[in-house]
Amino acid sequence: MNGLGGLNKSENGVVIGVVQLQLPVTETPADLAAQTDRIVELVAKARRNMPSMDLVVFPEYALHGLSMDINPKIMCTLDGPEVAAFKQACIDNAIWGCFSIMELNPGGMPYNSGLIIDDQGEIQLYYRKMHPWVPVEPWEPGDQGIPVCDGPNGSKLALIICHDGMFPEMARECAYKGAEIMIRTAGYTAPVRDAWRYTNQSNAFCNLMATANVCMCGSDGTFDSMGEGMICNFDGSIIAHGTSGRADEIITAELRPDLIREARANWGVENNIYQFGHRGYVAVKGGAQDCPYTYMTDLAAGKYRLPWEDDVKHTDGTSCGFDAPTRVFGEPKQEAAE
């Protein structure tokens, strides 16, 4: 049940619209400005489309397309005109918005960043993609963790980006920090369609958390993005799904954070996010609260290494035309440091 896509909004509901945005081609500052205007237009469309909508979500690469162009002239900043336009659009339409920018990073490669802006034009969440889609993407790995913010109608929101959602640890971190709704924006193309669906559902079910997910849509003449707006309930069921592949279609659903909180408190069987840290509580008081997972302890100790590590063939971006990096994570580029 999702209130007929949000048409019948309940007192405790949060109505979300995910925009299967037409994949753009952005090569110049003029292209960037035009695409900014297009997104602003679609914020207004979302408000007209669904007066009850609380939050409109745009996919990853909504401004920049899939070219992987790192030209500084088309990179964005938090205080730049693109973000200012998004803020004003949220104010003008009295709606929350989730947006994607490729963010200028003078100390390294650009960040692939996401913003959640409230209906007063204030940034409530700012996130840098933790897991760029290597070896294809050149973006700097995120360095600010996974934030959670208060959202509309008393909800708790988190945002991850595209490939992030293929790592179950990302969704678990969102839920562990209190998120009831996890947004996943993406630019994925059709070969990833099945994995997209499975992970959107498993991220929801394994964490008793709703997920709202959307990709770019249509073709830019080279790539074909799949759309696939998909909203999943906390039991893993799909409650809204954009299967038409129609560009700029807005897929909507009502989510119920109050029912998510109820399930997290009352479920016994399959309350997995609680049980993960309280193993076997029927047998031992409070359950086992150790960390028996080698990959976790090794990662924390800085010695994560797979048994087949020496056989991995792709360990940089040279197969996709990028130079092999020489800079260690956390170090600035040489020209920026001089």
Q: Is residue 176 part of a domain?
A: yes
In the predicted structure, residue 336 carries a pLDDT above the cut 70: no
**Residue 174 phi, psi (nearest 5):** -60, -50
| Domain assignment of residue 50, yes or no | yes
Number of domains in the chain: 1
Identify whether 334 is part of a domain. Answer: no
Which pLDDT does position 245 carry in this prediction?
Answer: 86
pTM for the whole structure: 0.96
Dihedral in degrees, nearest 10, Cα atoms 111, 117, 123, 127: -30
Domain that holds residue 105: 3-271
Indicate whether 135 pLDDT > 60.
Answer: yes
Among the residue ranges 3-7, 204-208, 241-245, 275-279, the one predicted with the least confidence is 3-7
* Spatial distance between the Cα atoms of 40 and 45, rounded to a whole number of angstroms: 9
Instruction: Look at residue 34 and tell me if it is in a domain.
Output: yes
Tokens of 241: 């799904």
Q: What is the mean pLDDT of residues 92-113?
A: 97
Dihedral sign (CA 159, 162, 165, 169)? negative
Nearest Cα neighbor of 64 from 25, 111, 113 is: 25
> What's 232's domain CATH number?
3.60.110.10
Checking if the pLDDT of 84 tops 50, the result is yes
- What amino acid positions are annotated as catalytic residues? 60, 129, 162
Q: Confirm whether 253 is domain-assigned.
A: yes
Q: Range with the lowest mean pLDDT among 1-15, 87-101, 216-230, 272-286?
A: 1-15
What does the pLDDT look like over 237-282, one tens digit per residue? Answer: 999 999 888 999 999 999 999 999 999 999 999 999 999 999 999 9
pLDDT tens for 20-54 read: 999 999 999 999 999 999 999 999 999 999 999 99
Instruction: Classify residue 241 as left (phi > 0), alpha (psi -120 to 50) or beta.
Output: beta
Whether 250 and 55 have beta carbons less than 8 Å apart is answered as: no
What strands lie across the sheet with 249-255, from one edge to the other? Answer: 123-128, 111-117, 96-103, 55-57, 14-20, 249-255
128 lies in some domain: yes
Asked whether residue 337 carries a pLDDT value surpassing 50, the answer given is no
Q: What is the CA radius of gyration of the chain?
A: 20
- In 3-state terms the chain splits into helix, strand, coil percentages (rounded to 5) of 30, 25, 45
Residue carrying structure tokens 């993960």: 276
User: Is residue 44 a part of any domain in this protein?
Assistant: yes
Helix segments in 122-271, DSSP class H: 168-176, 193-205, 257-266
Residue 144 CB partners (closer than 8 Å, separation 6+): 126, 127, 128
* Residue 320 domain-assigned (yes or no): no
pLDDT at res. 335: 59
Long-range contacts of 258-262 (CB under 8 A, 24+ apart): 258/12, 258/154, 259/12, 259/234, 260/180, 260/181, 260/208, 260/209, 260/210, 260/234, 261/180
Where residue 286 falls among pLDDT bands split at 50, 70, 90? very high
Helix H or strand E segment including 4: helix 3-6
Task: Tell me what the pLDDT averaged over the chain comes to.
Answer: 96
